[in-house]
Structure 1
Amino acid sequence: MNGVPVLKLSPIFLAMLAVSTNVAAEQEQTGDQYAAVESMVVTGNAFNDYKNGAATGALRGDIDLMDTPQSVAVIPEIVMDEQLATTLGKVLTNDSSVTAGTKKWNREVFSLRGFELNSGTGYLKDGQQVWSHYMHPVEILERVEVIKGPSSMLYGQSAPGGLINMVTKKPTVERFAEVGVDIDDQGSTRYQLDTGGALNDDGSIRGRAILVKQDENMWREYQDGEENERDRFLGSLQVEFDIGDMATLNVHYDRTEDEAGIDVGGWLDDDGNLIGKDDQIWDQPWAFIDITAQNIGADLHLDLTNNMQLKMGYNNQQFERQRFDSSPQYNQYNAETGEYAINPFDRFDDWEYNTFYADLSAQFMTGNLDHQLLFGANGVDYRYQQTRDRGSLTPVTIGEPIAKPDLNYHSVEAGDPSEYFYYGVYLQDLITINEQWKLLVGVRYDDLDRDTDSSNDDSDSVLPRFGVVYQPLANTTIYANYSESFEPQTEVNDVNDVNDGDNLDPVTSEAWEVGSKVELFEGHLLLTGAYFDITKKDIILTHDYSDPANPELDSRTSQDGEQQHKGFEFGAQGRAGEKLFVSASTMYLDAEYTNHTTLEGKRPIDTPEWSANAWTRYELTDALAVNLGAIYEGDRYANTSNTITKDSYTRVDFGASYKFKFTNTDVDLRFNVENVFDTDYLGGGDYDEVTIGEERNFNVSITAAF
């Protein structure tokens, strides 16, 4: 790919591949030697249920969703496999409370209940915050939990809309190997290997390795006709040890190398019409992003007694990104001449993200009350440093790409590092009063310490949480909760922003939620409904800015006013008949800025009033199944002043799979069509970075499980 370095394969991945191959080769020797060991057995892409009974991220434990006074959606691995999901964005289309934002810079932005998720605080992996300035690898996930509403009591810094918790696949005693390949009509390919099992005779040491190689050809192209390509490699390795009968230690490592051209997205005029062709990329073909994200850590689970458990964990995330950006300037576009300008730069970002936690959980009785008590602490040690070599504003004419400028971030000194240390201590108790009533109470103390000379850069808070669960019938739960969130801020980090370098105050919010959950078809189908009311204070917005004397400045970040989001949502997940499975949801959202100096009464960007989705599977035979899905998004505004509108759309998807045996190997064939009716639509993002919906596309995959 022009301008993008050749993909690098580190020695550790070659070692992982060797271990994986060895495990697969030994699988025939398993015999009956693990029969006495409890384990999860991997059976390839078997027809699974869509329903999950618990979400570990909601209350930091294996608590039944029916006992959880909060709305939670769980997207299982089977749905991800059926949809051939390659990005977290494709997974999250399965919950209508999540809306997508911009996809520029080879990353994805999401909002939950209309509130944008922060890259540093909005995403969890196995319950720990992870830096999210890249496309998270979905191949290592067994499910994704959408935890709705403020969760700061348990996790600290987080947006009021909720959190996304990505739960990874774990090692198993059963030895297995699964290989797969999928291709699309653009010529994109993805090769996958997932293998693991016991590493010793008694199964007390287990391993799992996942390798992915993806070469993606995007459907949009540069103005000289060159394709935008993406080259990604993923390696993941976990080893799990049983330490006697009381403890389990899991050591994990994963590394993503992801390189792609840059596509800032489409541009809309004042009437909401797309400027230029729908497949036209405004960036230059030499612009690229090169990302390396590496995680290494360990988790220890210790059973102190039958009713008391200690869990501890640590993760170190190293995240490096080079961004050689042409940075096309929308505010320099001239509709009459077809000219605009670019403001190129070569930038290197270096993040280090250390997270830790310790949870002590206990179950005990006081009188007639049953307690599920959680006492814990978690935190983040953050460091960031940037190096940037800047070019100058350069005019460009559509269809006439310019030469790559002579820029090199190595030629300049790195900027001052930005650092902070953040931790919180929390106490939560789920109290069973009787068969019908449960009460949830919790409180957290937070402290943030920035490494600066200003005392204003330190902040602390106390956050409460209350919930009540009433179960009038064995299959029905009614709940209510109140919670608060607290989001400490660092500083504005954009050299093109008027207020670059200014410190920002913490953002706070409070939320109420009432809802109900019902299990039907002997517990196989879960129906959920919730009403929520969330108010966020001291909100941060970035506005357009124009100054002829300083044309490189194009934005102004400010902090002002409140934002209130209220609405209701419904969902259904599970088996709705002997052969019919369904995952569906809808959300109505009333969102507006309140008590704001300039935007009072306006609606935030990318907050449709109505949104809905559905994905179904019908099993024609034991081997043949068909899928039908649909996604609906209502009208959305593309700018803060609400003068540019993106029209509503409905996209329909179809899939079919066939499973058979070939020489003792389970083989799955899958064929998917996305956007069956070739609907034209605009996805997430502002008017100057909007995602253009892809035209009809076809995907084929084959997976073999040994």
Structure 2
Amino acid sequence: MSLKFSTLSLAVVAALQSPLALADDASHGDMERIEVRGRSFNEYKVGAANGAMRGDMSLLETPQSVNVIPDFVTDEQLATNLAEVLVNDSSITAGTQRWNRQVFSLRGFELDSGSGYLANGHQLFAHYVLPIEILSQVEVLKGPSSMLYGQSGPGGLVNMVTKKPTFDRLFELGFDTDEEGSTRFQLDAGGALTDSLRYRAVAVKQDTEYWRSYSPLAGESAEQQERDRWLGFIALDYDISDNVLLSVRYDRTEDKAGIDVGGWLDKDGHLIGSREQIWDMPWAFTDNSITNLGADLAWQLSDNWKLKVGYNDQQFNRQRFDSAPRYNTDAMSTGYQISPFDRFDDWSHKTAYVDLNGEFELAGMEHKLLIGANKLDYGYAQLRTSGARQNVMPGVALPRPDISYKDDTSWSTSGYEFYGVYLQDLISINDRWKVLAGVRFDEQKEDSGNDNAVSPKFGLIWQPQQDLSLYANYSRSFVPQGKINDENDLSNDMELDPEFGTQYELGAKWELMNGGLLLTGALFDIEIDNRIVVHTLDVPVGDITKVTRQDGIQHHKGMELGAQGQVSDSLFLTASMMYLDAEYKTADSLNGKTPIDAPEWSANIWSRYEVTDNFAVNLGAVYVGERFADTPNSISKDGYVRFDMGAAYTFDIGGSEIGIRANVRNLFDTEYLDGGNYQMVTLGQGRHFSLALNAKF
């Protein structure tokens, strides 16, 4: 499908004008997605998070900075991927989007694809563009969370909460498109099959036309980067008895896309070539197939005690046929090289947990106790073969090489097992004071050796009034580092210690407007020790020219502010801001440098103003400050402000609720550089129109 700019412009104008003509006759909408609800609803504020305390705990009782992004907001924004969801939290900055995956940093620390993401509390292997259509909310858990989840980075975690089966009948169809001709069809259905069995099903078909183009093959026309995605999801809730609930989930993603390494910057930070230039060949692609099969059993043992057991099996298969263009500052005049290869990857990520939650009174104090254990079994296999290196001049692509595996069918494999046990107690000393204490022991087993760690966490909450919570916390993280495998290193074969992170945080959470508006603030100080530093030997020992030591430190400190909820009868908003001071403290060239994609200032806002019960307008902005694009801090990317707007109208046709939405992203057509280093920077798209229709039957 190819949708011309003029056609979409007329559609946008019609969408914005139609509410004025229909407002008198339209009935109030109550749709889950892109509709505008009546003023009695406050879909912008969420008062609890599932992941921060491994339970449905009020944010005011959580001594940690947590931001919950509800699907109502991201549906309004017509978000199509996790990057467009996480833009609603300024503590998260985007990294590269190469190879049809997305990388993020939280409080300046990059989230690892194997340990930085959760789905319903299960660690997820997030090496692909994660589906958001199956999510009810995204929780950003800030700061170390190793006490509850084991190996994870010091910046925090992203927990994705999937949609739940419904008691009431739900049947909803959605369609959205944009000026490039992209389309997305969605089905969301739910209801009760029997008195004890409920379901939720989601299906998505997405065809994306990106705005950047490949160089054409000889005699052919230039092609835009494309993506073809299918998604299926089903969740079942079965009441085994009045006290036992079995929940089963399955989702499958098929996602094939062309590869775009991103833009290249020269040593002065200027873009090499045009903004539309893709350096990869038009035949390069990634083809992903991912399945998740999980089950959770919740048993209410008594009024105060609950047992939960869960398991998730994730299988991820990928073919990556890559042209692997090599960065060259003189590419426009002398050309550049490609090193094509074909590669198959198989990942297996199996998780299990058991949690016992209890509430009781002891010594005149109330306790909320959690005792648990979890396990992660990770496996990986790769098969790869390469083609001949070739030189390419910009403007004309080379034909696809004939790469054959011949007799080479040997897979390289690796894996590890990870175990952890944990104990956490939230103690209410009185109506105003609460204390959180927790500790965890972990062990990781792999062929190169074993790692273990103890991760404590302490928190203190003071509530001088019911709607105000002041807190302090101390927490630790750890990331296993494996073994050195470099014959030119004096420390070759040495088993490295885990990298530990320590955080101190002070924060406040305040509910205003009768609980409709949540204001948050936090000061944080995070330091990593045992950071790997490679030192050059003053006097080489034969071929040995360096030595690896764990004597480096990385120090991040900063401030966060946030607001979420209802400001007045008609105005709703979600907003955040972060100041970050990030610095390496090492005995090598990194000393005093700032990590890539760690801006000093960042902020965002998205708002909705309800003109009538059925018509609303949105206005938003995203600000990202100047960032470095290389580790020596010699290349920087300018800061930018991007403005977005939208409008939505709902009406009734034959008893069915219909919603129409028009959005404009990057309203003023600002040119900017997004995440990624100077060899793979994502280029911000110019002014972008999108249109969506939604029907609930």
TM-score, length-scaled by structure 1: 0.89
**Conservation of the 8 A alpha-carbon contact between 1:594 and 1:600:** yes
Instruction: Say if 2:175 is the partner of 1:181.
Output: yes
Q: CA deviation at 1:501?
A: 11
Partner of residue 662, structure 1: 653
- CA displacement, residues 212-242 of structure 1 (integer Å, 9 cap, x when unaligned): 0000000000011111100000000111100
Instruction: Say if 2:68 is the partner of 1:71.
Output: no
Compared with structure 1, are the counterparts of its residues 493 and 279 closer, same or farther at alpha carbon in structure 2 (3 Å cutoff)? farther
Partner of residue 477, structure 1: 469
Structure 2 SS opposite 1:700: strand
Instruction: Say if 2:314 is the partner of 1:323.
Output: no
**Conservation of the 8 A alpha-carbon contact between 2:36 and 2:649:** no
Partner of residue 92, structure 1: 86
Distance across 1 between alignment mates of 2:165 and 2:533: 43
Q: CA deviation at 1:505?
A: 4.3
Instruction: Say if 2:417 is the partner of 1:433.
Output: no
Q: CA deviation at 1:502?
A: 9.4
Partner of residue 520, structure 1: 512
| Aligned partner of 1:350 among 343, 346, 351 | 346
Compared with structure 1, are the counterparts of its residues 491 and 126 closer, same or farther at alpha carbon in structure 2 (3 Å cutoff)? farther
TM-score, length-scaled by structure 2: 0.90
Distance across 1 between alignment mates of 2:630 and 2:441: 37
**Conservation of the 8 A alpha-carbon contact between 1:153 and 1:484:** yes
Distance across 1 between alignment mates of 2:309 and 2:65: 26
Q: Which runs of 5+ in 2 are unaligned?
A: 2-29, 217-221, 536-546
- 1:427 partner amino acid: L
- 1:394 partner amino acid: Q
- 1:657 partner amino acid: A
Distance across 2 between alignment mates of 1:665 and 1:254: 28
Q: CA deviation at 1:46?
A: 5.3
| Aligned partner of 2:226 among 220, 226, 229 | 229
Compared with structure 1, are the counterparts of its residues 323 and 662 closer, same or farther at alpha carbon in structure 2 (3 Å cutoff)? same
- CA displacement, residues 522-581 of structure 1 (integer Å, 9 cap, x when unaligned): 0100000000000012336999xxxxxxxxxxxx99976111000000000000111100
Q: How many residues align?
A: 645
Structure 2 SS opposite 1:271: coil
Q: CA deviation at 1:595?
A: 2.5
- CA displacement, residues 628-678 of structure 1 (integer Å, 9 cap, x when unaligned): 000001000000000001000000000100010111001110000000000
Compared with structure 1, are the counterparts of its residues 622 and 468 closer, same or farther at alpha carbon in structure 2 (3 Å cutoff)? same
Indicate the percent of aligned positions where both proteins have the same amino acid: 56
Distance across 2 between alignment mates of 1:644 and 1:597: 19
- 1:238 partner amino acid: A
Compared with structure 1, are the counterparts of its residues 444 and 219 closer, same or farther at alpha carbon in structure 2 (3 Å cutoff)? same
- Where does 1:280-429 land on structure 2 (aligned, <5 Å)? 280-330=277-327, 332-335=328-331, 337-409=333-405, 412-429=408-425
Partner of residue 251, structure 1: 248
Partner of residue 606, structure 1: 597
Compared with structure 1, are the counterparts of its residues 383 and 52 closer, same or farther at alpha carbon in structure 2 (3 Å cutoff)? same
Distance across 1 between alignment mates of 2:689 and 2:58: 38
Distance across 2 between alignment mates of 1:672 and 1:688: 32
Q: CA deviation at 1:414?
A: 3.0
| Aligned partner of 1:462 among 454, 464, 467 | 454
Distance across 1 between alignment mates of 2:572 and 2:603: 17
- 2:157 partner amino acid: L
Q: CA deviation at 1:395?
A: 1.1
Partner of residue 103, structure 2: 109
Partner of residue 574, structure 2: 583
Structure 2 SS opposite 1:78: helix
| Aligned partner of 1:561 among 533, 552, 569 | 552
- 2:644 partner amino acid: D
Partner of residue 169, structure 1: 163
Compared with structure 1, are the counterparts of its residues 210 and 540 closer, same or farther at alpha carbon in structure 2 (3 Å cutoff)? farther
- Where does 1:487-506 land on structure 2 (aligned, <5 Å)? 487-490=479-482, 505-506=497-498
- 2:204 partner amino acid: V
Q: CA deviation at 1:208?
A: 1.2
Q: CA deviation at 1:598?
A: 1.7
Moved more, 395-404 or 357-366: 395-404
Moved more, 221-230 or 111-120: 221-230
Compared with structure 1, are the counterparts of its residues 584 and 43 closer, same or farther at alpha carbon in structure 2 (3 Å cutoff)? closer
Partner of residue 277, structure 1: 274
Distance across 2 between alignment mates of 1:534 and 1:336: 43
Compared with structure 1, are the counterparts of its residues 481 and 680 closer, same or farther at alpha carbon in structure 2 (3 Å cutoff)? same
Instruction: Say if 2:631 is the partner of 1:628.
Output: no
Compared with structure 1, are the counterparts of its residues 321 and 417 closer, same or farther at alpha carbon in structure 2 (3 Å cutoff)? same
Compared with structure 1, are the counterparts of its residues 297 and 287 closer, same or farther at alpha carbon in structure 2 (3 Å cutoff)? same
**Conservation of the 8 A alpha-carbon contact between 2:275 and 2:683:** yes
Distance across 2 between alignment mates of 1:326 and 1:557: 33
Q: Which runs of 5+ in 1 are unaligned?
A: 2-40, 544-555
Distance across 2 between alignment mates of 1:234 and 1:429: 39
**Conservation of the 8 A alpha-carbon contact between 2:331 and 2:393:** no
Q: What CA RMSD, in Å, does the superposition of the two structures yield over aligned residues?
A: 2.2
Q: CA deviation at 1:415?
A: 3.0
Instruction: Say if 2:238 is the partner of 1:241.
Output: yes
Structure 1 SS opposite 2:333: coil
Q: CA deviation at 1:679?
A: 0.1
Q: CA deviation at 1:400?
A: 2.1
